[in-house]
Structure 1
Amino acid sequence: MNSERPAPELDPDANPASVARAIILRQLTNSPKSRQQLAQKLAERNVPAGVAEAVLNRFEEVKLIDDAEFAQLWVRSRAQNKALARGALRRELAGKGIAPELAEEALAQLSDEDEAGSAEALVRRKLRTSMNLADRAEREKYTRRWVAMLARKGYSPSAAFAVVDRLIDEQVDGESPE
C-alpha cells in the first residue's frame, strides 16, 4: 500500500493488549472484518504475535469476530450491490482469509436463479434499441463485450453466453429489452 511510511511502533509504555483491543474495535466500528484482516492490521501496527493471537481469540469468544457471519454478510452485500457471481465471491472470501467451508456455506444462499437474474439485469442495462444486433459483426462485438463483462463479475462462460445470446435474440426478434 504505502511502502514509504514505516509501520508505527508501539509506545514502549503502552500495554500491547490494550493497543490491540483498541485497533480491533476501531476497525470493527468502520465495517465488519474477518479474523485475517484484523490480524493483518495488528501486524502492521507491530503488535506482538502472541498478544494479537490472544486478543483475537478473546474477540472470537465474545462473538465480535465471526468469520461465518462476516462471509454471510459479504456475500449478500456484494451479490446485491455489485452483481457478483459465486466465482468472484469465492475468490474475494479466500482473499479475506475465510475458510473454504465457511465460504461455501455463505455462497449457498445464492441460488442459480438469483445468479441468472443478476447476469440478465447487467446485460439488459447495456442493451439499446438503437443497436443493430441483427448485423452479424455487431452481434459478435456486443456478445464479446457483454460476456467479458460477465466473466469479470465471476459468471461462468456457459452462463454468460446463454444469457447474452438469449437477450440478443429477444432484441432481434423485436421483443423489448426492458
Structure 2
Amino acid sequence: MSVYIDDEFAFGLSRQVAGWLSTGQELSDEKILELQEVETREKAYQRALNFLSYRPRSEAEVRRNLIKHDTPEDCIEETLERLRDLDLVSDQQFAETWVENRSTFRPRGRRALFSELRAKGIHNKTIDVVLQDLDEDDLAYRAAQKKVRQYRGLAWPEFKKKMLGFLARRGFNYSVAAPVIEKVWSENQPDPADKYNT
C-alpha cells in the first residue's frame, strides 16, 4: 500500500502494517517513523520466511541473507528471535536434517559432513552432538555400492585406487575406507581371492 502525505507519495507499506491505517488519517512525524520501523522489521521477517520456504536453513544462512538485503542488525536479531520462538530456525534441527539427507541420498564421511555444516555456520559443539552416532562404516559401504558398477572390470590395484579416491572425496578416512573397499571387491568379483590376476 502506498502512503501519501500532502498528496505526494511518501513511502510504501505492506498490508500487515498498512492495516493499522485508515484513509485520511493524520500522521505525526513520530507515527511515520514508527510505521517505517515496523515496516522494516516486517519486511525482514517476511524475507526470512520466504528464504526458509525453499529448504531448512541455519541461523547463519538466514543472517547472511538478511545482511545481503541491507537489513539493519537490530531487525536481523529480532527476526531470528521470532523464528526461534516459532521453531522455524534451529541449528540443531538443521544439522540433524542435513546429516539425515546426506546419509540417505549422498553418503558422506564425518570429515565431509563436519566441513559442510561449518560452512553453513553451525557451531562445532552442535556438529559434534549430531555426528556422535554416525555409522561411517555403513555410509562408506553404501557410497561404495553406488559406485562399484563404474569400476567393474578393473584390476584390484586400479579398483582400490579409484574407490579409495572416491571415498576420500566423500570425507571417509583410510581406516574406514580400506575395509569397505575389500568387502565391496569381494562381493562383486567372480573370484575375489584372485585380486592380482584380474
The TM-score with structure 1 as length reference comes to 0.78
Letter in 2 for 1:72: E
Is the contact made by 2:168 and 2:174 (CA closer than 8 Å) also made in structure 1? yes
Letter in 1 for 2:169: R
Q: CA deviation at 1:54?
A: 1.6
Q: Structure 1's 150 and 115: CA in aligned 2 closer, same or farther, altered over 3 A?
A: same
Aligned to 2:150: 126
Q: CA deviation at 1:67?
A: 0.8
Tell me, in whole angstroms, the C-alpha distance in 2 between the residues paired with 1:101 and 1:37.
18
Q: How many equivalent residue pairs?
A: 158
Equivalent in 168, 173, 178 of residue 191 of structure 2? 173
Is the contact made by 2:108 and 2:140 (CA closer than 8 Å) also made in structure 1? no
Identity, % of aligned pairs?
27
Tell me, in whole angstroms, the C-alpha distance in 2 between the residues paired with 1:108 and 1:125.
31
Q: Which runs of 5 or more residues in structure 2 are unaligned?
A: 1-11, 14-35, 194-198
Tell me, in whole angstroms, the C-alpha distance in 2 between the residues paired with 1:42 and 1:98.
17
Tell me, in whole angstroms, the C-alpha distance in 2 between the residues paired with 1:142 and 1:68.
38
Tell me, in whole angstroms, the C-alpha distance in 2 between the residues paired with 1:26 and 1:40.
14
Equivalent residue runs for 1:27-176 within 5 Å: 27-128=51-152, 131-133=153-155, 139-170=156-187, 171=189, 173-174=191-192
Higher Cα radius of gyration: 2
Q: Structure 1's 110 and 24: CA in aligned 2 closer, same or farther, altered over 3 A?
A: same
The range that moved more, 81-90 or 68-77, is 81-90
Tell me, in whole angstroms, the C-alpha distance in 1 between the residues paired with 2:171 and 2:54.
27
Q: Structure 1's 71 and 95: CA in aligned 2 closer, same or farther, altered over 3 A?
A: same
More strand by share: 2
* Cα RMSD (Å): 2.3
Runs of 4+ that moved beyond 6 A: none
**Once the two structures are superposed, what CA deviation does each residue of 1:77-130 show, in whole Å capped at 9, x if it has no partner?**
0111111122111110111011112112222342244224324423433342xx
Aligned to 2:41: 17
Q: Which runs of 5 or more residues in structure 1 are unaligned?
A: 1-10, 134-138
Tell me, in whole angstroms, the C-alpha distance in 2 between the residues paired with 1:156 and 1:123.
17
Is the contact made by 2:102 and 2:108 (CA closer than 8 Å) also made in structure 1? yes
Between the two structures, name the one with larger relative contact order (CA 8 Å, sep ≥ 6): 1
Letter in 2 for 1:88: A
Tell me, in whole angstroms, the C-alpha distance in 1 between the residues paired with 2:56 and 2:149.
31
Partner SS for 2:53: helix
Partner SS for 1:30: coil
Tell me, in whole angstroms, the C-alpha distance in 1 between the residues paired with 2:137 and 2:159.
24
Is the contact made by 1:34 and 1:98 (CA closer than 8 Å) also made in structure 2? yes
Q: CA deviation at 1:51?
A: 1.2
The range that moved more, 108-117 or 79-88, is 108-117
